[in-house]
C-alpha cells in the first residue's frame, strides 16, 4: 500500500502538470491560428482594396460615358442622320458596358444590377427619343431632343447608380 501511495505522490502532480501544459499549449496554438488568420485577411484586404477601388472607378467612368450629354459629344458626327446617330449611340453604350463586364466581380450584386438597369435605361431613352422623330430627322434633331429629355428627367438610373457606387466605395474607408 505504501508503494501505491508513493507512486501516486509522483504520478498525480505529473498528470496535473501535463494537463495544465496541454491546455496552455492548446490555448496558445488557437491564439496563434487566429492571429495568422487575421493577418491573412489583412493581407488579402491590402491586395484587394486597390483592385476594388479601380473597379468602382471604372464603373463610375462607364456611367459618366453613357450619360447623354457626354455620349452625344463623342458620337455625333456632322452629316449623320438621326437613325445613324441612334445606332452609333446604342452601339457605344453596349461596347462600353461589355468592356467593363469583369468589374462585376468587385462590386455588390445590387450595384451591378443598377449598372445593368442604367445601361438599359440609357438605350431605352435613346430609342424613345428616336421614335418621336420623323425618318428625315438629322442627328442634331435627335441630340437636341435627347438633351431636352435629359433636362426634364429628375433622377435617372445613371445618377442613382453613381450614388450607390460612391456609397459602396466610401464604405471601405469609413
**In a domain? residue 34:** no
Grouped pLDDT means (10 residues each) for the chain, 174 residues: 81 90 94 93 84 93 90 88 94 95 93 94 92 90 89 83 92 78
Predicted confidence at residue 165, as pLDDT, reads 93
pLDDT of residue 173: 76
Whether 122 is in a domain gets the answer yes
Residue 155 has a pLDDT of 73
Q: What is the DSSP letter of 102?
A: G
* Residue 8, φ and ψ in degrees, nearest 5: -65, -35
Q: What is the pLDDT of residue 174?
A: 67
What was the pLDDT predicted at 94?
A: 95
pTM, two decimals, is 0.74
Residue 98 phi, psi (nearest 5): -60, -35
Q: What's the confidence (pLDDT) of residue 156? A: 83
Domain that holds residue 126: 50-171
Q: 4 in a domain, yes or no?
A: no
- 107 in a structural domain: yes
For residue 39, give the C-alpha cell.
493577418
User: 165 lies in a domain?
Assistant: yes
2 domain-assigned: no
Inside any domain, residue 138: yes
Total structural domains within the chain: 1
- Whether residue 159 is contained in a domain is answered as yes
What gap in Å lies between CA 67 and CA 151, rounded to an integer? 12
Cell numbers 490555448: residue: 27
Amino acid at each position: 500500500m505504501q508503494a501505491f501511495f508513493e507512486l501516486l505522490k509522483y504520478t498525480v502532480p505529473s498528470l496535473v502538470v501535463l494537463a495544465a501544459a496541454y491546455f496552455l499549449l492548446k490555448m496558445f496554438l488557437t491564439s496563434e491560428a487566429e492571429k495568422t488568420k487575421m493577418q491573412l485577411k489583412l493581407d488579402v484586404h491590402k491586395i484587394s482594396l486597390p483592385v476594388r477601388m479601380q473597379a468602382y472607378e471604372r464603373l463610375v467612368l462607364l456611367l459618366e460615358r453613357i450619360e447623354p450629354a457626354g455620349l452625344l459629344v463623342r458620337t455625333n458626327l456632322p452629316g449623320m442622320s438621326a437613325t445613324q446617330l441612334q445606332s452609333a449611340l446604342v452601339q457605344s453604350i453596349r461596347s462600353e458596358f461589355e468592356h467593363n463586364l469583369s468589374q462585376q466581380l468587385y462590386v455588390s450584386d445590387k450595384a451591378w444590377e443598377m449598372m445593368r438597369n442604367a445601361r438599359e435605361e440609357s438605350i431605352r431613352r435613346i430609342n424613345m427619343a428616336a421614335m418621336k422623330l420623323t425618318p428625315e430627322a438629322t442627328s442634331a434633331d435627335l441630340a437636341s431632343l435627347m438633351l431636352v429629355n435629359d433636362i426634364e428627367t429628375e433622377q435617372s438610373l445613371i445618377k442613382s447608380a453613381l450614388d450607390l457606387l460612391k456609397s459602396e466605395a466610401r464604405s471601405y474607408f469609413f
